[in-house]
Structure 1
Amino acid sequence: MTTPDDHRSTTATGTHASARRGGEDGGEEEPPFGPGSQFRGFLDDPRWALAVIRATVLEAAHPQVGAALMESSTFVAHPWRRLRNTLTSLQRMFGTDDHTREREAARLNRLHARLHGTDPRDRPYDAMDPAVRAWVVATLFESTVTMCRLSGQPLEQKVMERLYREFQAFLAAIEGHADHLPRTLDEFWPYYDRVVAEELENTEAMRIILYKLFDHLPAPPLLHGFPALWATGRAVAGPVAGAITVASLPEPFRRRAGLPEIAGVQTLMQSAYLAAGLARFLPEGWIRAENILDMLTLSPDSDDPRARTITALRDRMKRAGALVRLITPLPPEPEPTPGGEAQRSVREFFAEVLDQTGDGYLDWPDLAAMARELSSRLDLDEPEETRLYTAYADWWRELQSALDADGDGRVSAHEYATAVPSLAGPALIRVAEVLFDATDKNGDQTIDADEYRTLFRTAFHRDATGAAGTYGRSAFVSDFLSFMSGRRRTTPYDPLLADA
């Protein structure tokens, strides 16, 4: 059983003023960002997949973060998207380009400024609270340290000190200062233990991530069309992942939150971290986080060369899926519709596209999540981002006026299905127009291949009207409206707004 001090290095002594001024022997230390960054090397470490889930649970256990996640986050409904966006943001922040880092910090601040309100117990939450932002950074640092310890490769003291300074610099890049993180590593551990002991709670958001995330986890595009295979793997992986994460949490918090102690799980947890650590010895291209996420999200219909690999894997999975259906009572996989264009039912469209937060209702946080995802994809500056949010806000007011029959400020799946509205009204057309303008970076009234890839993260493979390799305004708006009101699956918008 772990003790509260297990995450510390046994060699920690004294203060670290000299370490802050320079590197070993008084030499100049590597800058906190760029290729020499200690943390940047962990982004492609397979162990970090376990660490980031653990950090997310500790974040969600903070009442303010938990409330923000429940009110506005798409983590439950779109985990793959959230994982990719987190990775992209960290790559921008820890990269070599100062301008990119400043833009990303400004984007994160605009995003967080929109996340505030009150929780079910009427306690205020605000994603811009400096203490809360410091806690989020603290969980990333501590989970990285714990990741190394659990995998049998604890960080040396000087490496840990340097890593801590990098996370302080990360917070300062966003917040303007790192005053809400302790000044030294020695001071960090009492701070961490105090927050764990006094502020964390068994929040609903934390319970969902631990126990329910896998229950409704949508299949990545690679596994679309294989519900039996995905359901079987999900049923096994979900409880195991939850148990491993619980076992890795600080023991004082496990006791306070009443999280179960299961015999043998500590050994299973350490084995999982050790196995992930061994994966680091695979060829570099196999374990790059970006490559793995591309394989999970790249559409097989794309003309990206990697799509051929996905197609080959899907062919093999079809054979595996056929075997699973022979030996399990799971329902058969649906037959494709003629012409290959699968249609959604009204309720499917509501759940997969409109209900971005996965709470069963359509309200402003759902449309704000769409605007947030599109703004992130296009790396918009403040004026363009505001235009997009404003267009979505106008569309929400139009939807609310037409569909909110009981006046509760949101639209239920039943209200939507009963009305079966035509969504292609003036406000939605305005959303499409603003999105086109934001995507058309050079303002030539067409979207070229590079602009197309930026938005959809796929190759330019549509049959565009007009000049070869361009996508005109009318075609873009027509395709967007067709997706939002026609409810067809076979468009580039599925990986963007419907898939996880």
Structure 2
Amino acid sequence: MFGPDSQFHRFFDDPRWALAVVRATVLEAAHPQVGAALIDNSTFVAHPWRRLRNTLVSLQRMFGPDEHIRQREAARLNRLHARLSGTDAQNRAYDAMDPEVRAWVVATLFESSVTMCRLSGQPLDQATMARLYAEFLAYLAALGDKGGHLPPTLPEFWKYYDRVVEEELENTDAVRVILYKLFDHLPAPPLLDGLPTVWAAGRALAGPVIGTITVASLPEPFRRRAGLPETPGAQTLMQGAYMAAGLARFLPEGWVRTESVTNLLYLTPDSADPQAATLNALRDQVKRAGALFRLVVPLPGPRGHEHDEDLGPARGSEQDRDRERGPVRAEAGTRSAAEFFTEVLDQTGDGYLDWPDLAAMARELSSRLDLDEPEETRLYNAFAAWWKELQSDIDIDGDGRISAEEYAAAVPSLAGPALIRVAEVLFDVTDADGNQVIDAEEYRALFRTGFRRTMTDGEVRYSRSAFVQDFLSFMAGRARSTAYDPLLSEA
């Protein structure tokens, strides 16, 4: 069911699967419980590339050949999901550990994989489809979910799928964010972060196309009930996109690898990866081309603002426009309180600081360090204590969240004892061998870059006091950091 001979493994590096995953994500978000959990807790709006990378890494671990890695990843996912519960805007409860909800998420991945083959003119035969379905059932079982939440056979599955689509799915806030906001305001990946004009131009062309293709590929009963638009020519465009992506099967083996592409997207100028130097030279050339392009072609205004009032700030587009207007900071290396609030603290991109934002930080740090229990819980508990301190000191109106205005008025109160404790716990869990210094390998695990890129010349290890001081300086919100900015603010 798992490993390099699985049907899933063959799909993982298939360019068509990118379209299928977007489609599956929309269908997941259309489930009321999943949609509410995404809106309240997910960083998919403010940090979509980071969330994509983490999702792909998780799928690789779960479908890989190593049973021990699969068990560790399943335990990590279960701990993550156990922390995601609450109520939606209609006061309906949601729980990411609900087995029916988890079954639906797996169902969308399977069905979208089948649909991508059908739409690209390469439909799966019944035997292959049955094998793929068995693999996804095994994935659900590896998470510890008991059988019965997904039907055991394919004929029963299609009845189950049609029933959920027709009776349970809704046009949730999360669906509208993905279809009408996410692609129009998608922030640049780290590789293209310094090329706002080039990225904005490409996004202005690709965003509407991806949205149109995704809507056209959704089940017709859901499109009708959700009131999604019927764009003329959308079906033809959608089928053409899937068929064009399917032509990648004629490329030499190894040319298109999901892992290689995502790793390239995440390379930054300070990366220790040998490919970084080549990419930096390419970035310089693209910057020159972008400057010329900007002189001769005015960029179109951002789309989708009719939805911004309901769905929150268009964070990515605001950052792009700030860069395009030119320098807005008083001096290099510093930032305003408002910038720090938006870029670092507001992880979910809803315009407020609350517990899901700090939980997202703990989740990202735990994922980078691949923490097990009890280290992961220690880190979450440290962030939870910091949240209680922030509520006590900064939440002036007592509404349970901190606005940008409340934060700006109380910046000196940010670095209290609880934040110091966060820094100390983060040092402890990063210092894997417990020798009270962070060496080059431990440093790279957290920051994904080498000492020589960010540390003082000649520095070969990172002491506890220096680490805590640098973390507190960054979290005070004024100074930028070559190490911490990519850790907590990159898209």
Can you list the C-alpha shifts for 1:141-188, whole angstroms capped at 9, x where unaligned?
Answer: 001111111111111211110000000000001034232010111111
SS of residue in 2 equivalent to 1:303: coil
Can you list the C-alpha shifts for 1:27-82, whole angstroms capped at 9, x where unaligned?
Answer: xxxxx111211102211111111111100000000000000011111111110011
Which of 474, 481, 485 is residue 472 of structure 2 equivalent to? 481
Aligned to 1:23: none
Matches within 5 A, 1:65-464: 65-329=34-298, 332=324, 334=326, 341-462=332-453, 464=455
Q: Is the 8 A contact 2:121 2:243 kept in 1?
A: yes
C-alpha separation in 1, matches of 2:458 and 2:253: 40
Aligned to 2:310: none
Residues 178/496 of structure 1: CA separation in 2 closer, same or farther (3 Å cut): farther
C-alpha separation in 2, matches of 1:312 and 1:337: 27
Code of the aligned partner of 1:291: S
Question: What TM-score does the superposition give when structure 2 sets the normalisation length?
Answer: 0.91
Code of the aligned partner of 1:106: A
Q: Is the 8 A contact 1:354 1:367 kept in 2?
A: yes
Can you list the C-alpha shifts for 1:281-340, whole angstroms capped at 9, x where unaligned?
Answer: 34445421121112211111223101113202211211121122202445756359899x
C-alpha separation in 2, matches of 1:276 and 1:446: 48
Can you list the C-alpha shifts for 1:230-257, whole angstroms capped at 9, x where unaligned?
Answer: 2222222221111100000011111111
| Runs of 4+ with deviation above 3 angstroms | 280-286, 328-333, 335-339, 462-469, 486-490
C-alpha separation in 2, matches of 1:70 and 1:420: 27
Most deviating of 444-453 and 114-123: 444-453
Residues 412/335 of structure 1: CA separation in 2 closer, same or farther (3 Å cut): closer
C-alpha separation in 1, matches of 2:459 and 2:335: 31
Aligned to 1:39: 8
Residues 328/345 of structure 1: CA separation in 2 closer, same or farther (3 Å cut): farther
SS of residue in 2 equivalent to 1:175: coil
Q: Is the 8 A contact 1:285 1:291 kept in 2?
A: no
Q: Is the 8 A contact 2:26 2:178 kept in 1?
A: yes
Aligned length: 468
C-alpha separation in 1, matches of 2:216 and 2:131: 27
C-alpha separation in 1, matches of 2:164 and 2:369: 36
Structure 1 unmatched ranges of 5 or more: 1-31
SS of residue in 2 equivalent to 1:186: helix
Residues 470/280 of structure 1: CA separation in 2 closer, same or farther (3 Å cut): farther
SS of residue in 1 equivalent to 2:35: helix
1:53 aligns with 2:22: yes
Code of the aligned partner of 1:36: D
C-alpha separation in 1, matches of 2:405 and 2:69: 44
Most deviating of 329-338 and 197-206: 329-338
Q: Is the 8 A contact 2:395 2:402 kept in 1?
A: yes
C-alpha separation in 2, matches of 1:284 and 1:344: 46
Between the aligned residues of both structures, percent identity stands at: 74
Matches within 5 A, 1:7-22: none
Q: Is the 8 A contact 1:422 1:485 kept in 2?
A: no
SS of residue in 1 equivalent to 2:186: coil
SS of residue in 2 equivalent to 1:35: coil
Question: What TM-score does the superposition give when structure 1 sets the normalisation length?
Answer: 0.90
Task: For residue 117 of structure 1, report the CA deviation from its aligned partner.
Answer: 0.9
Task: For residue 393 of structure 1, report the CA deviation from its aligned partner.
Answer: 0.7
Q: Is the 8 A contact 1:466 1:472 kept in 2?
A: no
Q: Is the 8 A contact 2:23 2:112 kept in 1?
A: yes
Q: Is the 8 A contact 2:337 2:477 kept in 1?
A: no
Residues 337/439 of structure 1: CA separation in 2 closer, same or farther (3 Å cut): same
SS of residue in 1 equivalent to 2:86: strand
Aligned to 2:32: 63
How large is the Cα RMSD of the aligned pairs?
2.0
Structure 2 unmatched ranges of 5 or more: 300-320
Aligned to 1:12: none
C-alpha separation in 2, matches of 1:146 and 1:387: 43
Q: Is the 8 A contact 1:465 1:475 kept in 2?
A: no
Q: Is the 8 A contact 2:393 2:413 kept in 1?
A: no
Code of the aligned partner of 2:150: L
Most deviating of 38-47 and 357-366: 38-47
SS of residue in 1 equivalent to 2:476: helix
Q: Is the 8 A contact 2:474 2:484 kept in 1?
A: yes
